[in-house]
Amino acid sequence: MSIGEKLEQQLWDISEKGQFALLLDIITPKPGNVHRYRDHPDTRLIHFAASIAYLGYPLYLSARWGHNQTINSLRESRLGELIKIAVQKSMAPHEKNTLLGTIMIFVPLAAAAGSSISQSKLTVSVLRQQLKRILEETTVEDAVKLIQALQIAAPGGSIPKTPDWTPKSKAFNFQSPHTINLIRREHYTLRDLQSLASTYDAIAHEYVTNFSFIFETLYPLLTNTLNRYHRIEDAILATYVASLAQRPDSLIRRKAGSQVAEEVVDRAKKLYDKITQLPPKRWTDDIQAFDDYLRSQGSMLNPGTTADLLSGAVFLALLLENIRRIY
């Protein structure tokens, strides 16, 4: 195998692991989300599966860009552009926004992994160092492309029902026709935008903390559960409930308010305490009841951000080879 062929294989391996992480995410019956046993009224499992199939090339492009940065002294940030490409591709089969949150996480992670190919061994510290550099080097044009991606995806729950929405937050209001001009006038980079949104959006907060919750909380939780449970779905499900029990989901908080989001945390704590005392085969009724509760108000209690962040931890575990075989 030539050096060029080996590189291509490594770049596609990153993309494949990203797609695999997303498949594991939708297969696992996570309460409140679309999974193999339950759909949402307007979005079904097949919509997610189609989006994941179309995401392979954008993730490859992200890994390729990351690698090119390590060999090109004239580095140019393309993070916003790659996010926009990934959103467009993921919506191509059905025009539904299924993966915006995970794209926001997976594109920079894939780029960081691509930047780390020359390392003899990929480690948490190496990957996070490259990720930090990528996030810090974002530009105004990255911010513009991000807003355009949001305009294409048109996510729900964007303007929060919390006091965190300030006049400065208008720079992140993709629904306004004036936002892009504002970004250029104020010279906001993509990371600047995420900083403005970080008080009410957990994914934005990851951008300004170099993915702290994924690296420092979710990834260790997941590795512990992978050691504890034989089936990977059980490990992912236990990690998901544990994450919901730790802090309010920011999507629920934006849609339904802080009090309701805290009620979800309390229920998740009780559920986690119970399932950790039982074998997975005896989780079904309690998980089902929690799933029913989270679907009782339409999409208001959908913990979509928690699911997105967890999928990032699964991608990280695959990149670091904590998951090698499915049993």
pLDDT at 168: 61
Instruction: Measure the CA–CA gap between 143 and 185, rounded to whole angstroms.
Output: 12
Query: Any idea which residue has 């997941």 for tokens?
Result: 222
Question: In this model, does residue 148 exceed pLDDT 60?
Answer: yes
Q: Helix (H, G, I), strand (E, B), or coil: what is residue 30?
A: coil
The DSSP code for 77 is -
CA dihedral 193, 196, 201, 203 (to 10 degrees): 40
Instruction: Measure the CA–CA gap between 251 and 97, rounded to whole angstroms.
Output: 15
| Predicted confidence (pLDDT) per residue in 105-127, tens digit | 999 999 999 999 988 789 999 99
Could you please report the per-residue DSSP string of 86-150?
A: HHHHHHTTTS---SHHHHHHHHHHHHHHHHTTTSSS--HHHHHHHHHHHHHT--HHHHHHHHHHH
pLDDT at 163: 54
Residue 147, token pair as written in the block = 């807003």
| Predicted confidence (pLDDT) per residue in 275-316, tens digit | 999 999 999 999 999 999 999 988 899 999 999 999 999 999
Instruction: Measure the CA–CA gap between 105 and 61, rounded to whole angstroms.
Output: 15
| Predicted confidence (pLDDT) per residue in 159-206, tens digit | 554 555 555 655 667 888 888 999 999 999 999 999 988 988 999 999
Q: Helix (H, G, I), strand (E, B), or coil: what is residue 164?
A: coil
Question: In this model, does residue 158 exceed pLDDT 80?
Answer: no
- Structural domains in the chain plus CATH codes: 214-319 (1.10.4200.10)
Q: Which residues pair with 35 in a beta bridge?
A: 38
Q: Helix (H, G, I), strand (E, B), or coil: what is residue 162?
A: coil
Question: In this model, does residue 39 exceed pLDDT 70?
Answer: yes
Instruction: Measure the CA–CA gap between 275 and 253, rounded to whole angstroms.
Output: 25
Supply φ then ψ for residue 113, to 5 degrees. -65, -40
CA dihedral 237, 100, 9, 45 (to 10 degrees): 50
Residue 86: which residues within 8 A CB-CB, separation 6 or more? 55, 58, 59, 62, 99, 103, 106, 107
pLDDT at 200: 87
Q: Helix (H, G, I), strand (E, B), or coil: what is residue 303?
A: coil
At residue 157 the predicted structure's pLDDT band, cuts being 50, 70 and 90, is: low
- What number is the average pLDDT over the span 128-140? 97
